[in-house]
Amino acid sequence: MSELASESSALRPEDLRSHQWYGGDGLRSFSHRARSRQLGLNPEEHLGKPVIAILNTWSGINPCHLHLRERAQEVARGVWQAGGYPVEMPVSTLSETFQKPTPMMYRNLLAMETEEVLRSYPIDGAVLMGGCDKTTPGLLMGAASADLPAIFVPAGPMLAGHWRGEILGSGTDMWRYWDERRAGTISEADWNSLQSGLARSPGTCMTMGTASTMTSAVEALGMVLPGAASIPAVDSGHHRMAAASGMRVVDLVWENLTPSRILDARAYADAVTTVMALGGSTNAVIHLIAMAGRSQIPLCLDDFDRIARETPVLADIRPGGAFLMEDFHYAGGLRGLLARLADRLHLDRVTVTGRTFGEELAGAEVHDDNVIRPLDRPLATEGGVAVLRGNLAPDGAVIKYVAADPRLLRHTGRAVVFHGYRDLQDRINDPALEITADSVLVLTNAGPKGGPGMPEYGMLPIPDRLLKQGVRDMVRVSDARMSGTSYGACVLHVAPESYVGGPLALVRDGDPVTLDVPERALRLEVPAGELARRRAEWRAPEPMFERGYGALYAEHITQADRGCDFEFLARPGKYPEPYAQ
């Protein structure tokens, strides 16, 4: 046991949380042992051993997690080898591709499920199996609230795409070729054949989308075995990592090394640095703020902007760069990248291994300077995400400017406003629509409440007729999110959102809108008196949900700048153990 891990006393078998269920000679413990026999188990298989929940987000409709059923068996093997007792427990799958209106609406549901499963069953520790965008923060948020020893097993990126001699990145090249199809530069047959080459194996998007951004952030937090975040899903190293994680979680229980001892302010600062150095997804801003809130750590948009200004982008990965996650992994992975930034990190904090962050980065090497750039040759001198403020976004907005056309980073154009995604779909290609390449596309009612769930609508489509003229980027402003695999001059997460009366609701066609990324500004160039008149005329929309989870969501969701968590989950307070009631 490491010196850091032994700071709190190690547990004895009778100290295990599960002992409250299985130990002693009372009627309830007798019943629990009898039901264990019903499961085909002898009491000695779990009595006095750490009971480890394997929370698996596998499902038959989540291609990113198609291999996690098999990996759960390898995690269980590791748990058995280390002297624990594994229990696989399915939790919400949150399939990014198929779940509507957006899995973001259900991230907090997974977080609640994770917390309550860990709290209500005889669990001593947990292995959290996820990776597809919202599963990673959902699992970590719940585990942070439950505060039982836990380790995260990332699903890993899929293999690189291939099509007609071209290497493809999922998401990124889908968006690119969709524009080319609408511009008429590729045929219908080309478009259809692309489907078979874009996603060739289980695993998450192999670009630096939200999945790889978040699993890398969680590795930087110290909740993942070092080097695990970038292992390709079908690589044999992924099998070994799963088993090693199962072994390690048993020791975590005996060492009583809980998330609250790992997830401190230093850890979250290093996670933000990691996101910026990767040129990572804008979605990480929302998720990390929510995760930090569960750890009772203050983290805000200004922290992201401050760290971005101090952190170069070193990972040359699509959509902001040229390479893919496989290239990144074999070039040295996250350990190699962070070793180049070691003087900006907090190296003395403990990680899930029981060793310090600095000890885990020691000896890390970079094997390809084109994929992981040296400090004197960064992809960008500042982190790829900027936080914007102004009268159009008083509580902030974000833009992934490294994935935008540089000429648009200082731009003023007249607004073309769409009131909801359906309106956008209906009118974007209307020949009567007054729009030019210099226009600013504005989408309202796409935020946390208005979406609902803040869908990934933020990469508003460029009209077909402009695509055919060669236009490939325009300034776009919304209270929506966008896929981390997307690109373009897209201003996102405008807060407060239009649905609750934020200034975005007051924009009218023809209004001048200014984006100034160097000055971190987003302004509506309309006199204050006119905006006041419009605000007096604004009326709140009717509630979208009358019952069910949707109503719970709408009543308690916070705005993007606060992480879109449920306020009753993020706030501190007592939550008694079931056996203490």
286/71 Cα distance (integer angstroms): 29
Q: What is the pLDDT of residue 121?
A: 97
Both tokens of 424, joined, read 């956008």
For the cut 50, the answer to whether the pLDDT of residue 6 exceeds it is: no
Going by pLDDT thresholds of 50, 70 and 90, the confidence category of residue 42 is: confident
Q: How many CB atoms lie within 10 A of CB 116?
A: 14
Q: Is the dihedral of CA 466, 469, 473, 475 positive or negative?
A: negative
CA-angle at 157, arms to 156 and 160, nearest 5° = 155
Comparing CA positions, the residue from 210, 317, 250 lying closest to residue 75 is 250
User: Which of these, 303, 308, 305, lies nearest to 293 by C-alpha position?
Assistant: 303
- Nearest Cα neighbor of 477 from 464, 494, 496, 462 is 494
Per-residue pLDDT band for 437 (boundaries 50, 70, 90) equals very high
- In this predicted structure, the answer to whether residue 43 has a pLDDT above a threshold of 80 is no
Percent of residues, the chain, with pLDDT higher than 70: 98
Averaged pLDDT for residues 533-553: 96
Residue 380 φ/ψ, nearest 5 degrees: -150, 150
For residue 512 the two structure tokens come to 């001048």
Q: How much is the mean pLDDT over the chain?
A: 95
Mean pLDDT over 431-451 rounds to: 97
In tens, the pLDDT along 329-360 reads: 999 999 999 999 999 999 999 999 999 999 99
The pLDDT confidence band at residue 1, using thresholds 50, 70 and 90, is very low
Q: Is the dihedral of CA 17, 20, 25, 27 positive or negative?
A: negative
- pLDDT, one tens digit per residue, over 244-262 is 999 999 999 999 999 999 9
For 463-513, write each residue's pLDDT tens digit. 999 999 999 999 999 999 999 989 999 999 999 999 999 999 999 999 999
- Spatial separation of the C-alpha atoms in residues 285 and 387, rounded to whole Å: 10
186-237 pLDDT per residue, tens = 999 999 999 999 999 999 999 999 999 999 999 999 999 999 999 999 999 9
Q: Grade residue 9 by pLDDT with cuts at 50, 70 and 90.
A: low
Q: In which band, very low, low, confident or very high, does the pLDDT at 44 lie, cut at 50, 70 and 90?
A: confident
Domains of the chain, each with CATH number or no CATH:
5-25+49-159+201-361 (3.40.50.2300), 162-198 (no CATH), 385-537 (3.50.30.80)
**Residue 127 contacts residue 153 (beta carbons within 8 Å):** yes
Mean pLDDT of 172-195: 93
Torsional sign, CA 412, 516, 509, 469? positive
